[in-house]
């Protein structure tokens, strides 16, 4: 039987997927959303601007590793959905400790807080990267966890903590594992927004290695709906894959961007591959589909709309790319590559 909720704490809700999820709760389900976000470099109040003033919306700045602040923000909520995470593989290679603090310690404190408050449902949002390379076939939820980077290892640890709380303490928690997500409002360090905004700035598109790494692409709105389906319908103690069913190589994604923006192949600059780079991810999402979810956005339409969104919303990403956090990252990882 589907669960119903009146107010949900959306941890990490000022980020990319979390902000779309908060909007989905408010606009499509009429559920109050309390966004709790530390506002690190990827948290952006601009992502929430259209919800400001909605009586069902509230924003609280805070860290999920701060149990006291988290408990205050979650007071009166009957569910928590945790998008709060450090997520960028390159950054995790440079600074693993920050990922352990948020993705492991923060997840532990969120689970403990949910248990103490008697929260009715928790959804821990994770990633397909915990499965590591999937050379053939598609990973289902029983696939071994073989993370390759400090980022994916920290997320796998968070998954296991969630399952431990479900079994030992009977906390009603589910885990979702989403595939590569794209769409409007994504911080421009990830492949699609980085390449599109670089192209619009007249910069090169720094493609790792041979560009043949394969990813399963999922539109952010489909991802948000998948997480909502697990919130309402998911069985505690279970994991659910949220995959788009759109496998493309990074080279294919790059070619789409070049065509849409009418750029020559010379705009691409092949750069040294990143350490431990997984070759392929692929998810079997049939378990989630039994709950009634399926992706609705056709990939060709979704990526075209996404490219045009960045073209038409330069002010949103120019503020980010001119900021200190992005500039420092660019200098560290792309020095001499543009």
Cβ atoms within 10 Å, residue 3:
13
Give me the catalytic one of 36, 108, 131, 151.
151
- Whether the CA torsion 104, 108, 110, 114 is positive or negative: it is positive
Per DSSP, what are the bridge partners of residue 44? Answer: none
How far is it, in rounded angstroms, from Cα 315 to Cα 194? 15
DSSP run (H or E) holding 60: strand 57-61
Whether 36 is catalytic is no
Q: Which of 226, 218, 212 lies closest to 186 in space, CA to CA?
A: 218
The answer to whether 187 is a known catalytic residue is no
The number of residues making up the chain comes to 338
Assess whether 103 carries a catalytic annotation: no
- CA-to-CA separations, 214 to 36, 179, 247, 267, 280, in angstroms, rounded: 33, 11, 6, 21, 5
Q: Could you say which of 63, 128, 222, 278 is catalytic?
A: 128
Q: Which one is catalytic: 78, 129, 216, 222? A: 129
E-strand stretches of 191-302 = 205-208, 214-219, 239-242, 247-249, 268-271
User: Which positions are catalytic?
Assistant: 128-129, 151
């Amino acid at each position: 039987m589907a669960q119903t909720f009146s107010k949900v704490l959306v941890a990490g809700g000022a980020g990319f997927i979390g902000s779309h999820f908060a909007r989905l709760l408010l606009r499509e389900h009429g559920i109050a959303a309390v966004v709790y976000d530390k506002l690190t470099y990827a948290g952006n109040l601009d992502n929430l601007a259209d919800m400001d003033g909605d009586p069902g919306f509230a924003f609280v700045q805070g860290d999920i590793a701060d149990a006291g602040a988290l408990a205050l923000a979650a007071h009166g909520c009957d569910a928590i959905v945790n998008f709060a995470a450090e997520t960028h593989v390159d950054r995790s290679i440079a600074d693993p400790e920050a990922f352990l603090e948020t993705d492991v310690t923060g997840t532990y404190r969120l689970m403990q807080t949910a248990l103490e408050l008697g929260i009715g449902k928790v959804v821990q949002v994770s990633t397909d990267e915990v499965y590591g390379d999937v050379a053939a076939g598609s990973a289902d939820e029983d696939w071994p966890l073989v993370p390759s980077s400090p980022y994916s290892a920290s997320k796998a640890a968070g998954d296991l903590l969630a399952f431990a709380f479900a079994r030992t303490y009977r906390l009603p928690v589910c885990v979702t594992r989403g595939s590569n997500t794209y769409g409007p409002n994504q911080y421009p360090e990830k492949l699609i927004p980085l390449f599109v905004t670089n192209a619009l700035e007249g910069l090169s598109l720094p493609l790792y290695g041979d560009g043949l790494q394969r990813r399963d692409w999922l539109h952010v709105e489909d991802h948000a709906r998948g997480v909502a389906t697990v919130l309402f319908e998911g069985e505690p103690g279970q994991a659910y894959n949220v995959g788009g069913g759109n496998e493309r190589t990074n080279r294919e994604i790059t070619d789409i961007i070049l065509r849409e923006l009418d750029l020559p192949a010379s705009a691409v600059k092949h750069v040294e591959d990143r350490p431990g780079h997984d070759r392929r991810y692929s998810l079997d999402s049939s378990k989630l589909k039994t709950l009634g979810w399926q992706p609705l956005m056709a990939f060709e339409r979704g990526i075209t709309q996404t490219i045009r969104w960045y073209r038409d919303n330069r002010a949103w990403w120019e503020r980010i790319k001119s900021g200190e956090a992005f500039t420092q990252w660019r200098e560290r990882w792309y020095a001499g590559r543009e």
